[in-house]
Amino acid sequence: MSDFLDAQKLVALLFLRLRKSGFDLGVGEYFAALEAVEGGYGRSRPVLQRTLKLMWCTSRSQQSQFDLLWEMVIRQLESELPPPVQEIEGHEFNSTQAEVAPSLSQATPPPVTEVSEEPEPDGISAAPLPVRPPFVPAEVEELVELQTYWPISHRDMLYAWRYLRRMVPGGPVDVLDVSATVERTAREGFFLAPVYHQRDRNEAGLILFVDQNGSMMPFHRYTRDLVDTAKNGGVLHSEQVAAFYFQNVPGDYVYADRNLMQPVALERVLEQCDRDTSMLIVSDAGAARGYRKLARLRATTAFVLALQQRASAIAWLNPMPRLRWKGSSAELVAGLVPMFPMNEDGFSQAIDVARGQVPA
């Protein structure tokens, strides 16, 4: 992409053009595109074009319309570029000459020549000047100042994780039992010592399976916050939370890092689970592109069945809204496992399922 072209301005102009052409785009799609630009997908024109087409188009007709509007926006931005500076051969213009020129023009004013008015000959009248139409500037699309919007905030994630609890006695005996102390004092007739009971401990365990790269690239900020708040939110200890990553569909191996460089056998991960382990899958399940592929459905079904054999509290968090699930693989996957959109209400419901509650 040319150095003069601002990638963010190109995204904004193209976003407005597509909305006027009937594309179903909202603020979330706009900020997802800006996230992609900041992630390095705006360094070249072809890469940015492919990325935006992947994120914003759901059919071949929309892709064709996208290409036409893309070229129009590119031509508009190129027409707004400043003209190149021309150098005069054999003459170097410097600031000293620029300062001397005005002073010379003020010192020696140009001579004034008197123009004599000649009478017009008889029978000849001056022809009227042609009337020029008023200048009407072309309509320029103004960039709308959009407010920052995220499907779910960092604070909402921290708040929701607090409900993921499975309290069992297992701590030190240091909690005062007031009712038992009063009962024993009344029974014995005098107070000898307070009664303590064992402190409860949160034995909840959580495994996150996070879809990475591909169509999930614009949602990396949310998935990163999701993992960080689960591990460092204060309710669960870091050793109680495990995060594994995959791309599109988990296979026989998942990965222990976001860069998908440290493979771990899925069977080995499931061996560490029990029936009380909570599992949360984070993926668009094909809803971002609107595809419904049989191979993906088979692989996803096998993955979900493998999880259900080890644990019962399984939920699916989809970053795409419910409207985008229809006609894609996500619509069928939602029949296998409880699936919720990645917003405040959906995340809260996913936590309830991870706690073992049956969704309404």
Find the mean pLDDT for residues 18-44. Answer: 85
- CA torsion angle 344 345 349 350 (round to 10): -40
pLDDT at 56 over 80: yes
User: Domains in the chain, please, with CATH?
Assistant: 1-78 (no CATH), 170-201 (no CATH), 203-355 (3.40.50)
Kindly indicate the confidence band of residue 119, based on its pLDDT and cuts at 50, 70 and 90: low
> Environment class of residue 139 by beta-carbon count within 10 Å: exposed (0-12), middle (13-18) or buried (19+)?
exposed
Token duo for residue 291: 């595809």
Q: How does pLDDT run across 162-199, given as a tens digit for each residue?
A: 888 877 777 787 888 899 889 988 988 888 888 888 77
pLDDT confidence bin for 235, thresholds 50/70/90: confident
> Per-residue pLDDT tens for 269-304?
999 888 788 999 999 998 888 878 888 899 999 999
Does the pLDDT value for residue 339 go beyond 90?
A: yes
Task: Indicate the DSSP class of residue 109.
Answer: P
Question: What amino acid is encoded at 41 in this protein?
Answer: Y
- Reported as type and span, the H/E element at residue 168 is strand 167-176
Residue 137, pLDDT above cutoff 60: no
